[in-house]
Copies of this chain bind each other. A is one copy, B any other.
Amino acid sequence: MDILKLINSQKQKFPLEQPFYVNKEIFELDLETFFYNQWVFVGHASRITNKGDYFLFSIGNESIIIIRENNEKINCFFNVCRHRGSHICLEDEGRVRKLICPYHAWGYDLGGNLINAKMMEKNFNPKNWNLKKCYSQVFEGLVFINLSEKPSEFKNFIKPIKPFIELHGLGRAKIADRKIYPTKGNWKLALDNFHECYHCQPSHPEYCHVHSRDYIQSYGAGSNTGPKSKEFNKKLKIWNKKVKKLGYLTGEFSEDKFSEFFRSAERTPFSNGKLSETKSGKPASTLMGEFNEFDGGYTTIGPSPFNSIIMSNDFATTFTFIPKGPNDTDIEIMWLVNENAIEGVDYNMEELTWMWHKTTLEDKRIIEDNQKGVLSKKYEPGPLSEMEMGLEKLKIWYLKHLEKSIKKTTNTI
């Protein structure tokens, strides 16, 4: 298959052709080009508050140990013993004093240094056999990993979305709930779904109960992804003024030229006096971050194509899209609240998770039915609506990045 030729034959304002959603070779290329080269948010530091606490993150054949070395430091290691290659940590999460391989008891300290290996020959130097690290950064409690050998500067990566995250004080948050939605669909069909709100009206009653029609049309999948709404722009203007007065951040960010990053961020108001992304519009929990009162607004961040973070003043919902196979994607959601909030007293789990749990179950079904049809030999991309410009933007970035990466590899060889 001539993938370069295929890339160049994709039509403007139409979704991708079949091979991009089903082909195994393209899937492997996708992993190498995108997932293994991006800073991906995989968890929150509050999962591992004590020394030796760890959790695992799995992608493809890789298992990553995310472990706390001490109060200041979290390390990420490939879950592969340097002796014979066994997995070292076998549970999804836990607490250990040392990392001891269950096979032959090679032991590593929490910094990954080999400190125990019995019966080795005399010239054996343990310093050569420390655990292999994976690049990672913790920012405001958000654990990002990067599986590349030469990751891009984290500072550059985080810069434009930094103030939006800081506003919500995620560093002083904890995980209230965490769910995984295994979805039988290509990761790009899952992202397509997340980058347009054309389907919200027909498919998401809960989302449409919370959000107003004018917001959905013009901002549902982010700024400039649908037709402008005079009504919403008016609301936004008034709200921006009010919020600036309160002293909180407003505004938005989106990529204005092509780079390896695909980031976005924006602050927008709820309608009808709603204060939080809940059924009633009332708060689900206590205030977080810099907020001293509810500002009636809402922050959406897309750090990478594989993540979204959606924040009310009182809770945050994080999304991680994990490609598992050409037709398989895991969607992992975490709900974060103020670290001091107490379940049953300060927040109610049902209220907190209601919208995105229901909406993600709906999206899972949608993506799976989309995949089934895309597998047909009669599938042919159709014209995109005016409300699918977020998807078009993602597609253009994806194709450009893939093309660049293929050409680079070819030149290297």
What is A's interface to B at a CB cutoff of 8 Å? 13, 15, 61-63, 78-88, 90, 100, 102-105, 117-121, 124, 129, 132, 192, 198-199, 201-203, 226-227, 366, 369-370, 372-383, 385-387
Contacts and interface: CB of A to CB of B under 8 A. Distances in A.
Contacts of A369: 86-87, 90, 102-103
Q: Identify whether the interface residues of A are mostly helix, strand, loop, or mixed.
A: loop
Given A63-B372, A81-B382, 20 more contacts: A13-B121, A15-B84, A61-B377, A78-B376, A83-B383, A83-B385, A84-B382, A85-B373, A85-B376, A85-B382, A86-B370, A87-B369, A87-B372, A90-B369, A100-B202, A102-B366, A103-B202, A117-B385, A118-B385, A132-B378
Nearest to A88: B373
Contact of A86 (B82, B366, B377): B366
A412 to B, nearest CB: 18
Nearest to A105: B202
11 contacts: A80-B378, A83-B385, A85-B370, A85-B376, A86-B370, A90-B369, A103-B202, A104-B199, A117-B385, A121-B383, A129-B383
A379 B84 CA distance: 8
A126 to B, nearest CB: 10
B120 A385 contact: yes
A387 to B, nearest CB: 5
A297 to B, nearest CB: 26
B376 A62 contact: yes
A374 B87 CA distance: 8
A370 B90 CA distance: 11
B199 A373 contact: no
A163 to B, nearest CB: 33
Contacts of A129: 382-383
Contacts of A386: 119-121
B203 A85 contact: no
Contacts of A15: 84-85
A53 to B, nearest CB: 21
A100 B203 CA distance: 12
